[in-house]
A and B are shown apart, each in its own frame.
Chain A
Amino acid sequence: MVKLVGLVPLFPLIGFLINGFFGKKLSKGLSGTIASVAVLASFVVSLLLFFDAQHLPGHKAEVSLFGWISADTLDIPFEFLIDPLSSWFLLIITGIGFLIHVYSTGYMHDDEGFQRFFTYLNLFVFFMLLLVLGNNYLIMFVGWEGVGLCSYLLIGFWFKNTDYNNAAKKAFIINRIGDLGFLLGIILIFISFGSITYGQVFEKAGIVNESVITTIALLLFIGAMGKSAQIPLYTWLPDAMAGPTPVSALIHAATMVTAGIYMIVRSNVFYSISEVAAEVVAIVGVATALFAATIGLLQNDIKKILAYSTVSQLGLMFLGLGVGAYSSSVFHVTTHAFFKALLFLGAGSVIHAMGGEQDIRKMGGLKGKIKVTFITMFIGTIAISGIPPFSGFFSKDEILAHVYEHSPVLWFFGMVTSMLTAFYMFRMLYVTFWGTFRGTHEQAHHLHESPSSMTIPLIVLAALSVIGGALGLPEFWGMPNWMHHHLDPILYRKSVSMLSHETEWMLMGLAVVAAAAIIFFAHQLFVKNRVLPEANEAKLKPWQKLIANKYYVDEFYTAIIQKPLDMIALAFHKFFEIQLIDGIVNGVGNSVKGIGSVIRLVQNGNIGMYIISMVLGIILIFLTLFIL
């Protein structure tokens, strides 16, 4: 059975090739169907593998395809690994991926680049599957950069728009900064362990110097900062919303951006050994979670709100990783994939209905007009806000409980983040769906529910967002935490909660009460009092302006990195290259020429002159002979 693992990435690859080579000749229906069926087929195989993997000896199986790169002691096979972690991610990627493919057949229906869109989407799924299936760090890196390429292509999908192209370029370049860290980390792993295959590395991790482990862990984490949009490398993700909305759902919410989480869970050995590295992960995570959540408070673009929310939620997952709650973070990856994909797709449905409008200030009162979209998005919003018994409640609560155990201070910031989350999410929901319609007359006339190809994925995801919490029921309730047991075999240090039941109940109660209070507050503000986000930016208070402008971080980066780089480049070009280096070269050349032109004067064709110099020469020779 595990031998079939190659089929999982193969199907999307075939879909990619068919659409890539013959897409123009295919009808939109056929093209979309091929792409969707390819991912569905992967999902089916992934399911079979998943159940099969439960019975594997040692909980894992390695499947070698071919020898890839070999240089003396460095031997890197193209090899896949099936274990509890990879098989679970396979299900998320192909399952959510399939739903989003189906959704896209509706969403992209009128786009002239329809076939091209599915080509890229299939290619993305292929690379994402490689990322989680690889049995060594370099295969992970292949997928890692491959999904980065697809992200680039899809952010800049509408390639005539310069802003979108800039966003795409920015995403690729910032990710490459992270990738360099990742690459150096891989090299250090090879140098320290003589191998980069997971199994061989992890079994020796205990005997390698801890400072080396810390360096490796931090280098890998730089990669994760890029891909999973953590401070300071997060700025590309909000801009990435330039891509079509299904792309935001699949790549920039549910799957690709969680690659950093996957990488750290996969490498949990390092972070369990190196407390320094783990602490760094936790602090960067909580800082990002809080920082992005505050920005989310004052965004008015429906996709930007969700984007900052994603950055913030990813930060929460890293916080969980930093305190050693690996399975809780994977649990949150899963529930987040459900409700954030749902929210993005719902936002896409809203945008679709609004004829391309993304500003929530120009929406309002949509709940009666697009019912399915409204109800499903409502569910998604409750789920992310942490209201029981929806899925987000369980996963977030589990992370926060572990954080509390580690450090009440970090827990406090995590709590604040989730309160902010509840606020900006309900702000988005209320402003969009309640109140009166604020769009144009034409838009009001045009308002309609999306086709079933779009609403069915919404309904499925909404159902998952409701029941997804069952994957990880709290153990102190006396319930089985399936996720915890499932991931147990791949964890180096098992996380066992030492908190008393009373404390756990108290934390949970506090979280629910806080969320409920915030939602009530938002309701008063946006529904009762009909407060609307300020349309005129000039009227914002200074602190609001600061937040609305995302703390001017982009401007800051431009000033300290982009501008200086351009200036250095120009200085190199205009001064060092042309004046200095080439100046010296030409100077040497010219002086040789100059000397030549002086010496040439001697050969002037005057025979008398030659005779005189000959005589002088002979005299000179004799003189020297006599003197010596």
Chain B
Amino acid sequence: MLAGLLVVFPLVASLMLFLMKGRQVRNLALGLSVIPFALAIAAYMQFKHNPDSSNLLLNCTWIKSMNIHFALGLDGMGLLLVLLTTFLVPLIILSSFKTEYTNGHAFYGLILLMEMALIGVFMANDGFLFYVFWELALIPIYFICLLWGGEDRARITFKFFVYTLFGSLFMLIGLIYLYNHTYTVAGTKSWAIADLYAAGQGLTEAQQSAVFWLIFIAFAIKMPVFPLHTWQPDTYVTAPTQGTMLLSGIMLKMGTFGLIKWLLPIVPLGLAKWGGTAITLSVIGIIYASCIAIVQKDYKRLIAYSSIAHVGLISAGILAANQQGVQGAVIQMLAHGVNVVGLFLIADILLRHTGTRDIDKLGGIRSMNGNFAVLFLIVLLGSVALPLTNGFVGEFLLINGVYQFSPVTAAFAGLTVILGAVYMLRSYQGIMLGERRDAAVAFGSLAGSDKAVLIIVCAVIIAFGVYPKPLNDLAEPAVKQILSVVNK
């Protein structure tokens, strides 16, 4: 019941918004977007009470001839990501209050539609359904970027769309291949996740290797992992702030989530053979993107590259396929989602208040708005993973996980600790400290909606840095469960 509602409600809300007119639509959007979060909290309560509750499951036949089911369910990890999604969407909507979007009803409608698809991805227990939600998520974000984006949006958005769609086709081939092999394990062809796991594990090493790459490429493009990342910086910069938040805060977690739930348990042999290569790529990406971030002038582009670096570590931790690495990845997905929304809002605030995001043109904002400086600093600290911020818990577990794969690789991955500090502090100093520069002359005070979002983000950063136990309590058994399948 609850499971179905989680997916259906955002869809209904989205349709309602599409039919609305006028400026008040954003208030309605905000109000409606809080409800899925309430539903997710209800699901959390239910899950704590009884993880196997039928309330959290939905399974009905969808396309009988191909044995496709509309199967939804929640484990601890899926629940965390649903909580993240439903928590972030209201914040994302609130962060748009100071920007006037033409056709707001369509804008907010698309955001809610996107939310539906994302929740679907995190809940799907049927391979085909997963793929449908996966592709469905691309459509609203494509239009958000295309219609409300910035300079050169048509070309950049097209590239983003084609690139990710192209990647997804590999996954489709991989899934169909697995589907065709379910016959031997399930007696009938099936898209059910457990059957796909069994089918994949029944394959030879060579077959598993092929499937590994087919599916990995789709996820790697989505995250993105080096060297499949070049669509990302342009897209992040050009997309409207809310689009960037959706892309980086939630959508990239489809890729990392996919790795854990839809790749590791399916092809353990393929992982054993090729995981090391994929980890190496991920770690190269950490260093590579961090270095590039150091020389960025546009703060939004800098965050885009820092996101590639962070995701590289998450990906490496997952592929290390041990409890610390994978659990760290789950925790870091949540932290990264929250922090990056804060960072992109800060980039947006800079642009709105000064007319530029160019670090070289900014400076001295701290002396004009101390509160903003503090909030900015807290988000930054979360991002550089200072202990007692949410970023640290995941990062520590991730490096730990990678270390168990290879100490040397972990040392390289750990360079993020140093390089992250370099680009984050450099840019903070350039923007906030020093003498006041021309662009920052009349910075003024923050709008109520911006302040609210930043305060909530900062509160979460500290709260889950000091007390991450509720998150770990959900992630730990879920990851253990998945790894037990992987290591069977």
Contacts and interface: CB of A to CB of B under 8 A. Distances in A.
B387 A159 contact: no
B364 A180 contact: no
A566 B387 contact: no
Contacts of B400: 74, 187, 190
Given A69-B468, A71-B323, A577 B399 contact: no
B387 A145 contact: yes
Interface stretch (B142-150, B259-267, B421-429, B442-450): B421-429
A26 interface: no
Interface in B417-435: 417-418, 421-422, 425-426, 429, 432-435
Interface string A572-602: 1100110001100110010000000000000
A180 B467 contact: no
A569 B386 CA distance: 24
A74 B325 CA distance: 12
B403 interface: yes
Contacts of A472: none
B472 A172 contact: no
Given A68-B469, A71-B327, A142-B387, A577 B421 contact: no
Interface in B446-478: 467-469, 472, 476
Contact of B418 (A159, A177, A572): A177
A188 B403 contact: yes
Contacts of A32: none
Interface stretch (B20-28, B103-111, B286-294): B286-294
Nearest to B423: A569
A580 B404 CA distance: 33
Contact of B469 (A66, A161, A589): A66
A184 interface: yes
A160 interface: yes
Contacts of B296: 573
B206 interface: no
Given A66-B469, A173-B425, A160 B403 contact: no
B429 to A, nearest CB: 5
Contacts of A138: 387, 396
B23 to A, nearest CB: 35
Interface in A167-218: 169, 172-173, 176-177, 179-180, 183-184, 187-188, 190-191
A191 B468 CA distance: 22
Contacts of B469: 66-68, 70
Contacts of A581: 227, 230
Most buried by A among B397, B415, B425: B425
Interface string B395-410: 0110110011001001
A580 to B, nearest CB: 9
A565 interface: yes
B351 interface: no
Contact of A71 (B295, B328, B411, B433): B328
Interface string A366-385: 00000000000000000000
A183 B328 contact: no
Contact of A569 (B159, B292, B323, B433): B292
A272 to B, nearest CB: 24
Interface in B140-179: 159, 162-163
A160 B373 CA distance: 13
A160 B364 contact: yes
A187 B403 contact: yes
Given A70-B476, A581-B227, A589-B162, A176 B403 contact: no
Contact of A184 (B227, B292, B403, B426): B403
Helix, strand, loop or mixed for chain A's interface?
helix
A165 interface: yes
Contact of B399 (A172, A183, A589): A183
B381 interface: yes
A23 B453 CA distance: 23
A184 B411 contact: yes
Interface residues of B, number: 52
Contacts of A187: 399-400, 403, 410
A162 B396 CA distance: 33
Contact of B404 (A146, A184, A191): A191
A183 B420 CA distance: 15
Interface string B321-332: 001100110000
A585 B387 CA distance: 39
A173 B418 CA distance: 6
A72 B291 contact: no
Contacts of B310: none
Given A187-B410, A581-B227, A71 B397 contact: yes
Contacts of B410: 184, 187
B353 interface: no
B414 interface: yes
Contact of A176 (B366, B418, B472): B418
Contacts of B417: 176, 179-180, 183
A50 interface: no
A568 interface: yes
Contacts of A614: none
Given A146-B386, A187-B400, A585-B163, A71 B435 contact: no
A67 B403 CA distance: 23
B393 interface: yes
A336 B480 CA distance: 50
A433 interface: no
Contacts of B426: 169
Contacts of A348: none
Contacts of B435: 160, 162
A173 B292 contact: no
A343 interface: no
Given A74-B400, A569-B292, A172 B386 contact: no
Given A70-B472, A160-B434, A177-B418, A566 B295 contact: yes
Nearest to A580: B227
Given A74-B324, A172-B425, A585 B433 contact: no
A176 B421 contact: yes
Nearest to A24: B370
A156 interface: yes
B367 interface: yes
Interface string A71-100: 111100000000000000000000000000
B230 A572 contact: no
Interface in A540-570: 565-566, 568-570
A149 interface: yes
A141 interface: yes
A232 B107 CA distance: 55
A169 B425 contact: yes
A145 B386 contact: yes
A44 B393 CA distance: 33
Nearest to B397: A71
| 9 closest residue pairs by CB, A with B | A72-B323, A142-B387, A582-B230, A569-B291, A569-B295, A159-B433, A71-B327, A569-B294, A573-B292
18 contacts: A69-B468, A74-B324, A145-B387, A149-B381, A159-B366, A159-B367, A160-B364, A161-B434, A165-B429, A165-B434, A172-B421, A184-B410, A187-B403, A566-B294, A569-B295, A582-B230, A585-B163, A585-B230
Given A68-B469, A165-B429, A180-B415, 7 more contacts: A70-B469, A71-B476, A159-B367, A162-B435, A176-B418, A565-B291, A573-B291
